[in-house]
């Protein structure tokens, strides 16, 4: 008589048939992901688990459990990091528009806030991933938490790749081309917050994902988070439409509606010049693209809300506009 693999119980829970599956508890989801990250799960089991979970629909509690398991799999010591103010994940793998949000993060860093940006490499062929943009703007990209701590001594914005601090989760991202769909990994990767920063920015692909990310942050005890539909699934506000932002403060969340910043209703994001030099040109003022410029300002305004909670969206938009207009345009010359 054979004994079931320990992981089989979680596959069974998700695969009993139409309307018969159940949600996993935090502890079950954490244990399941721990087994996966330890390499104790067969690839066939792993694919079945992720696809069944996708069919059912992940819950915030499940994603929080998986995030907790991933945090225990970090390489190195996050405790080496100084007090970081903002967690800024960048996990969209196919940028069909410029990562203008990098400029918003730079502006935020110039206000004295420390920001740890982290994410995956993304595809580059005909696309505009985050890392070349960071390199163009001299943002330190480090290989471990110790080097990140050192970089924070002279910089307020630092980047670390997922493969550097949690290669086991990075390996799971590589399954997307094989499975053909996004999985829970693409979702909970955004919640890792390796620096345990009190303020977390979350840009999601589709509005229905907002509540799931808010619930995940709540289960994880995230002090403050801003979750909204972002351009290309990144932390980038669309200035042509009202932006519906879910703000989590402790256990309580509420929606803030940011107004559109322009009456212009059409901008062809996917026809942009995707060279990373465009980011530098936008910063130094030699490139004029009013809609992306307002997107940068609007993204900064959303981020500032967590640090300046008493200011209204309109006041924060005005504050962010002033920060943009008074930036050091000669910084990258």
Q: Do the Cβ atoms of 158 and 151 come closer than 8 Å?
A: yes
| pLDDT tens digits, one per residue of 183-240 | 899 999 999 999 999 999 999 988 888 999 999 999 999 999 999 999 888 999 999 9
SS3 content of the chain, % helix, strand, coil (to 5): 45, 15, 40
- Using alpha carbons, select from 69, 154, 77, 155 the residue that is nearest to residue 116: 155
- Rounded to whole angstroms, how far apart are CA atoms 280 and 133? 9
How far are the Cα atoms of 91, 246, 272, 279, 289 from residue 292, in angstroms, in the given order? 20, 22, 10, 10, 6
Q: Average the pLDDT over each of 44-48, 263-267, 321-325 and give the range with the smallest value.
A: 44-48
Residue 227 near residue 88 (C-beta atoms within 8 A): no
User: What distance in Å separates the CA atoms of residue 47 and residue 37, rounded to the nearest whole number?
Assistant: 14
| Token pair of 151 as six digits | 């970089």
Angle between helix axes 43-56 and 26-37 (nearest 10 degrees) is: 150
16: confidence class by pLDDT, cuts 50, 70, 90: low
User: Which residue, among 303, 61, 307, has the nearest Cα to 188 in the 3D structure?
Assistant: 61
Torsion of CA 301, 304, 310, 311, to 10 degrees: -20
CA distance 233 to 213: 13
- C-alpha 152/C-alpha 198 separation (Å) is 17
Residue 107 has a pLDDT of 98
CA atoms within 13 A on the CB side of 20: 6
Average pLDDT for residues 130-159, to the nearest whole number? Answer: 97
Residue 324 has pLDDT above 80, yes or no: yes
Range 47-54 average pLDDT: 91
Return the closest-CA partner of residue 118 out of 101, 103, 130: 130
298-329 as b/e, with b when 16 or more CB fall inside 10 Å? bbbbbbbbbbeeeeebeebbebbbebbeebee
pLDDT of 1 higher than 60: no
Looking at residue 299, its pLDDT comes to 98
- Copy the structure tokens of residue 11: 């596959």
pLDDT band at 17 (very low <50, low <70, confident <90, very high): low
Q: 314: which 2 tokens?
A: 């309109």
pLDDT the model gives residue 13: 82
* pLDDT grade for 3, boundaries at 50, 70 and 90: low
For the segment 238-262, the average pLDDT, to the nearest whole number, is 96
């Amino acid at each position: 008589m054979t004994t079931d693999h320990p992981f089989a119980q979680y596959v069974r829970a998700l695969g009993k048939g139409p309307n018969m599956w159940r949600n996993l508890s935090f502890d079950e989801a954490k244990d399941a992901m721990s087994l996966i990250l330890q390499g104790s799960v067969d690839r066939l089991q792993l694919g079945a688990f992720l696809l069944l979970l996708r069919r059912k629909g992940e819950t915030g509690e499940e994603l929080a459990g998986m995030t907790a398991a991933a945090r225990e799999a970090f390489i190195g010591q996050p405790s080496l990091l100084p007090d970081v103010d903002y967690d800024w994940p960048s996990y969209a793998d196919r940028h069909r528009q410029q990562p203008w949000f990098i400029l918003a993060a730079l502006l935020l860093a110039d206000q004295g806030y420390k920001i740890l940006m982290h994410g995956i490499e993304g595809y580059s062929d005909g696309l505009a991933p985050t890392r070349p943009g960071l390199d163009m703007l001299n943002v330190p990209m480090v290989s471990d938490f110790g080097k990140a701590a050192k970089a924070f001594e002279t910089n307020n914005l630092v980047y670390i790749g997922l493969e550097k601090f949690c290669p086991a989760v990075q390996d799971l991202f590589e399954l997307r081309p094989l499975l053909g769909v996004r999985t829970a990994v693409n979702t909970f990767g955004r919640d890792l917050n390796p620096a345990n920063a009190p303020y977390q920015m979350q840009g999601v692909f589709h509005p229905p994902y907002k509540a799931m990310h808010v619930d995940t942050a709540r289960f994880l005890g995230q002090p403050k988070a801003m979750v909204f539909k972002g351009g290309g699934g990144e932390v980038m506000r669309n200035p042509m439409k009202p932006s519906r932002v879910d703000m989590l403060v402790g256990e309580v969340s509420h929606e803030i509606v940011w107004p559109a910043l322009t009456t212009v209703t059409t901008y062809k994001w996917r026809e942009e010049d995707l060279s990373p030099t465009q980011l530098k040109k936008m910063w130094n003022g030699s490139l004029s693209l009013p809609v992306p410029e307002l997107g940068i300002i609007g993204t900064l305004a959303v981020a500032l809300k967590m640090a300046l909670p008493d200011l209204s969206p309109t006041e924060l938009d005005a504050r962010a506009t002033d920060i943009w207009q008074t930036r050091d345009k000669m910084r990258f010359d």
